[in-house]
Amino acid sequence: MTRLGEKPWRVFFRRKVEKRVTKMPRPQQVLFANLVEDLQRKGPIRMEWPNFSKLSEHEYHCHLAYSWVACWKVWEDALEIEVYYAGSREKAPY
C-alpha cells in the first residue's frame, strides 16, 4: 500500500495492450484490472501474483491465469510502469 505522503505509481499501457485485454475471457480481464490497481498502489514488485518473476533489470511478468500473462517495465525515477504485454502465454514476448 502507498504510505501517507507517497505518490502512487503511474501505470499505463498502449492501445495494442487494451485491444488484447478486451479479447481475454472476462475473469482474466478482471484479474488484469486488479493487477493494474496493485501496480498503482504497491509498485512493480508483486510477489503475491502467480509466477511473478524478473525478466531483466527493469522488466517483470506474472500470470493472470494458467494461459494468460502480463509483462511490464519500470521507470523508478519517474514512478512509472508500462504494461507492454497482456495476453496469451504462448505469444508472450519472453
The per-residue pLDDT for range 29-69, each reduced to its tens digit, is 999 999 999 999 999 999 999 999 999 999 999 999 999 99
What's the pTM value of the predicted model, to 2 decimals?
0.89
What superfamily does domain 10-86 belong to in CATH? Answer: RelE-like (3.30.2310.20)
- Extract the C-alpha cell encoding 17: 495492450
Domain ranges of the chain: 10-86
Order across the sheet with 80-88: list the strands: 10-12, 80-88, 68-75, 59-65, 53-56
Kindly write down the DSSP assignment for every residue of 41-88, as one continuous string: HH-S--TTSTT-EEEETTEEEEEEETTEEEEEEEEGGGTEEEEEEEEE
Residue 4 predicted with pLDDT over 60: no
